[in-house]
Amino acid sequence: MTSTPAVPTTSEPARRRSLWARIRGRQGRNLWFALFVTPFVVGLLVFVYIPIVWSAYLSFFDARATIRPTTFVGLANYEYLLSDPLFRNSMMTFIVFAIFIVPVTYACSLGLALMLDNVGRFRAFFRSVFFIPTACSYVVAAMVWRLSFFNGARFGLINSLLTTLGFNGVDWLGGTNSWYWVALVSLRLWLQVGYYMILLIAGLNQIPVDTYEAAAIDGASGWRRLRHITLPQLRSTTAAVQMLLLIGAFQAFDEFYNMMSTAGSYPPYARPPLVHLYMISVGGSQQDLGLGGAGTMILTAIIVVFGLAQNWWVTRADRRQA
């Protein structure tokens, strides 16, 4: 700023232009960046982040059939849920379910991926066959499993095979025993194994050939090759696959709902947390959105804790090397 009267009038817009120029970035790159990412970021904030925050807010209120609650209840919703035997059972059951289904699905997918690795000219055919259940919905799969494979009547596929072999039929989904887990787990495996097999094949293809050649020269056996080359090299894919499987396990809803429920009511056993939350907050007559919000928070916390623990477990060897 100089003493001549004309200059101050020009310096103000000049400074503003420089701020504007900074926002725009070189050749307006920041503006272009904003143009590209804004639709997605706004959508993510409005439809993912705001609902989570809103739900956290509702979880501290008595919000029965209202979303503008006035009665602050503190942690009462959390206390209620954590002392509710149905919710506790469902949480415990699904922690066990996740601990079981994640490694089993991973092992099956990896087994298929490894077998298809050197199967020669049938490779593409088998890959397609194992992959195609991905196209089927849980609803349709549940129909086949519930009404044909695991139909408790004599004309169910497995029961009629059992009868032919001289055994008694089993009441698969009736709830008088725990056989329904066979149906639920086999359905999930059928639907998921192929998808994760493809991801693992992608991971296997990234392992450099010469590491195997070196191992072959050293005379490493198949098992040692798997243990000391394949699995360590596959670690980042493994971490991603197991994380997706874990989230999927806690997210279970479709096949449970369609296999176990009858006319809108769901039995108290084999009840996924999401089904329970659906029943108390939206689907049933209770319409308790405060409880639903609290349940969402608890479930999210459990997924995050398990995810971190799993990540720590998968990457433990990296830390040991470091």
Closest distance of CB 116 from other proteins, Å:
8
Q: How far apart are CA 306 and CA 309, in angstroms?
A: 5
Closest distance of CB 170 from other proteins, Å:
15
Which is nearer to other proteins, 8 or 43 (by Cβ)? 43
Which is nearer to other proteins, 3 or 27 (by Cβ)? 27
SS3 labels along 6-34: HHHHHHHHHHHHHHHHHHHCHHHHHHHHH
Closest distance of CB 241 from other proteins, Å:
7
Closest distance of CB 205 from other proteins, Å:
6
Closest distance of CB 145 from other proteins, Å:
8
Which is nearer to other proteins, 9 or 319 (by Cβ)? 319
Closest distance of CB 245 from other proteins, Å:
12
Closest distance of CB 237 from other proteins, Å:
6
For 192, other C-beta atoms within 10 Å of its C-beta total 20
Which is nearer to other proteins, 20 or 125 (by Cβ)? 125
Which is nearer to other proteins, 2 or 221 (by Cβ)? 221
Q: Within 45-167, where are the H helices?
A: 50-58, 76-83, 85-117, 123-131, 138-144, 157-164
φ, ψ of residue 270 to 5 degrees: the values are 45, 45
Which is nearer to other proteins, 51 or 174 (by Cβ)? 51
For 220, other C-beta atoms within 10 Å of its C-beta total 16
- The alpha-carbon radius of gyration of the chain (Å, integer) is 28
Closest distance of CB 133 from other proteins, Å:
6
Which is nearer to other proteins, 67 or 75 (by Cβ)? 67
3-state SS, residue 82: helix
Q: How far apart are CA 88 and CA 271, in angstroms?
A: 11
Burial of 247 (0-12, 13-18, 19+ CB in 10 A): middle
Which is nearer to other proteins, 6 or 135 (by Cβ)? 135
For 307, other C-beta atoms within 10 Å of its C-beta total 15
Q: What is the DSSP string of 144-203?
A: HIIIIIT-SSTTSHHHHHHHHTTPPP---SSSSSSTHHHHHHHHHHHHHHHHHHHHHHHH
φ, ψ of residue 262 to 5 degrees: the values are -135, 125
